[in-house]
Amino acid sequence: MCNRMGEGVGRRVRGVLSEWAIADAGNGGGDIQWCFSQVKGTVEEDVTEDGDSWEYADIISTVEFNQDGELLATGDKGGRVVIFKREPPETKQSLPRRGEYNVYSTFQSHEPEFDYLKSLEIEEKINKIRWLPRQNAAYSLLSTNDKTVKLWKITERDKRPDGFNLKDDEGRIKNPNDITALRVPFFKPTELIVEASPRRVYANAHTYHINSISLNSDHETFLSGDDLRINLWHLEITDRSFNIVDIKPANMEELTEVITAAEFHPSMCNVFVYSSSKGTIRLCDMRQRALCDQHSKMFEEPEDPSNRSFFSEIISSISDVKFSHSGRYLISRDYLSVKVWDLQMDSRPIETYQVHEYLRSKLCSLYENDCIFDKFECAWNGTDSQIMTGSYNNFFRMFDRNTKRDLTLEASRENTKPKCILKPRRVCTGGKRKKDEISVDSLDFNKKILHTAWHPTENIIAVAATNNLYIFQDKDKV
């Protein structure tokens, strides 16, 4: 089967490097052993003849698996969406065992725009992608930049009509005098063409920058949230949306809090949550009233007075919030930790995992270089037993809720050898640096893992490291 990409080959797929690891027999332990599977994107040192290397536009800004995990979508700062599809392995012995993700479709989702009223550019960067459940042969997804949400339909075409009477093979109208016989047109198989077309454009509803979109479990509506407002849309209606949350103060000078993330509950279609820059998560029920400014529940942990600093508020700002698949829990990511909340208990989280506590003493420097404002995402695994989130130096962290063990791995081209189980990394926080440890001062703060995604059912993870997409798989599973 041959794939042809939609709208030209993006830079990201030039110089694609694809390797895989052999999944040998298991180790008997309960912990997952992660192996390198694939990496997509140009290598830094890859400079082509015309002097181009990877660019700012290639930086991946969002990663998302679809509902069955067969498709993996990425959005980048250049407004493009690249969709990878898992190909079934050709033989039982081929690697990786579960099949590879190959480029399925590439299209330009958003273009840069200019707001003439404010004399400001509107970035084309894709902030979020959310897949719609599949209802027919086509795939659908929602993608958004700062101002506009779009519904894209991705369709396959592998046949084309042929044998017309009035047109010849090139489509030119035939001279009627040359037609001597009548035939029935038929469908001729062609190579697979994947096309993406925008079906709906949900525009002009947001004054501030959209940071979240979330599809409702009713599969008919979705929400889009910006810094101060959350709007509810119907998928079919583009010229109207309902405002369900508005925290804009009457006097903008009194603004002290913004919305940072919002998500619908996975099964209760009337419930959604939104997080704020002050470290609170509010759960709202749309049945209570039309405007959900009053929350039903507020999840907030009281501040630890011993850890107070000037940056307490900034590091408490929640950058991502995700419901568990069961809908019973949710995780929130602030600058230094991931917290697990039980929806039944809003007084404090039931679990807290430190992502990179060693940065607490460096907050002033991180404030200076703006790293303290980085928005890290977090992800659940399919069974809600594990949590993953990113860090600096291309490190990402996995937390097992049952064993309470944590793991630090690195997304790096060094680990792309076959049979390569990822070696756990350790950061030395003080004192003597052991071998294989890396000291805090040597961490590269330009290499940040902000976007990660976990396959909905299997132990396959996608990790975006600047302009590269890494795919890792569990060693044991077949």
Contact residues toward another protein (CB under 8 A) are: 43-45, 115, 118-123, 146, 208-209, 227-228, 252-258, 260, 277, 310-311, 313-314, 317, 362, 364-368, 370, 373, 412-414, 440-446
Q: Minimum Å distance from CB 255 to another protein?
A: 6
Closest to another protein by CB, 187 vs 373, is 373
Q: Minimum Å distance from CB 440 to another protein?
A: 7
8 Å CB contact between 69 and 456: yes
Closest to another protein by CB, 102 vs 277, is 277
Dihedral, CA of residue 224, residue 331, residue 392 and residue 121, to nearest 10: 10
Q: What is the largest CA-CA distance in the chain?
A: 93
**What is the sign of the dihedral through the CA atoms of 292, 294, 300 and 306?**
positive
CA distance 395 to 405: 16
Q: How far is C-alpha 349 from the chain's CA centre?
A: 24
Residues present in the chain in total: 478
Where do we find the tokens 């949710």? 330
Q: What is the DSSP string of 410-475?
A: E--GGG-STT-BPPP-EEE-SSSPPTTEEEGGG--TTSB--EEEE-SSSSEEEEEETTEEEEEEES
Q: Is 104 left (phi over 0), alpha (psi -120 to 50) or beta?
A: alpha
8 Å CB contact between 343 and 324: no
Q: Minimum Å distance from CB 279 to another protein?
A: 11
Closest to another protein by CB, 48 vs 369, is 369
Tell me how crowded residue 176 is: count the other CB atoms within 10 A of its CB: 8
Q: Minimum Å distance from CB 4 to another protein?
A: 32
Which of 145, 185, 191 lies closest to 169 in space, CA to CA? 185
Q: How far is C-alpha 332 from the chain's CA centre?
A: 16
Q: Minimum Å distance from CB 374 to another protein?
A: 11
Closest to another protein by CB, 67 vs 207, is 207
Q: Minimum Å distance from CB 74 to another protein?
A: 22
Closest to another protein by CB, 417 vs 434, is 417
Q: Minimum Å distance from CB 436 to another protein?
A: 13
Q: Minimum Å distance from CB 334 to another protein?
A: 12
Which of 201, 109, 107, 110 lies closest to 149 in space, CA to CA? 201
Closest to another protein by CB, 241 vs 260, is 260
Q: Minimum Å distance from CB 209 to another protein?
A: 7
Q: How far is C-alpha 297 from the chain's CA centre?
A: 27
Closest to another protein by CB, 155 vs 416, is 416
Closest to another protein by CB, 334 vs 474, is 334
Closest to another protein by CB, 317 vs 408, is 317
CA distance 428 to 409: 15
Residues 6+ apart with CB under 8 A from 286: 232, 244, 270, 271, 272, 292
Q: Minimum Å distance from CB 446 to another protein?
A: 6
